[in-house]
Amino acid sequence: MGLIIKEVGLLGSKNKYKKLKALFDTGATRNYISKNFSDNTTIDDLGVVEYHGQDFVIFPDGFSKNGSIINLKLLKIENVPIEEPEFFLMDMKIYDVIIGAKLMQKINLILNPSVKELSFG
């Protein structure tokens, strides 16, 4: 199975729009976003619309990590806007954004890993 990594657009509470590379991961239930992006900007540069408090995630290897649940103003995938998307905010090293299965199902996003493409059903 191939990885699908595409550019997404994010808009935060400071009305700053940013494009970042995102991994589309059907094995991840929720969406994740890094506190510090690979281009040396941060989530604070975008601005968080709402904090929902702390939560934790348990990874397949049993490792758990704490983070905050947040909303941003807007997420754009293939120019399709998703208002007030929810993300699990934590330090990530490899990807700036991970789009999880719940959101993909909600917006009827179909992955085609063999050609590394996304489509909407």
Q: What is the pLDDT along the chain (121 residues), one digit of tens a residue?
A: 568 999 999 999 999 999 999 999 988 999 999 999 999 999 999 999 988 888 878 777 777 888 899 999 999 999 999 999 999 999 888 999 999 999 999 999 999 988 889 999 8
- Taking the C-alpha atoms of residue 32 and residue 11, their distance in angstroms, rounded to an integer, is 15
Position 38 scores a pLDDT of: 94
pLDDT for the residue numbered 18: 96
CATH assignment of the domain containing 97: 2.40.70.10
Question: Which residues span the domain enclosing 99?
Answer: 4-120
Provide the domain count of the chain.
1
Kindly give, in sequence order, each residue whose CB lies less than 8 Å from that of residue 22, ignoring residues fewer than 6 positions away.
Answer: 5, 6, 7, 8, 77, 95, 96, 97, 98, 99
Strand (E) or helix (H) holding 45: helix 43-46
- The DSSP secondary-structure symbol of 41 reads -
Give the pLDDT of residue 24: 96
Put simply, whether the predicted model's pTM sits higher than 0.85 gets the answer: yes
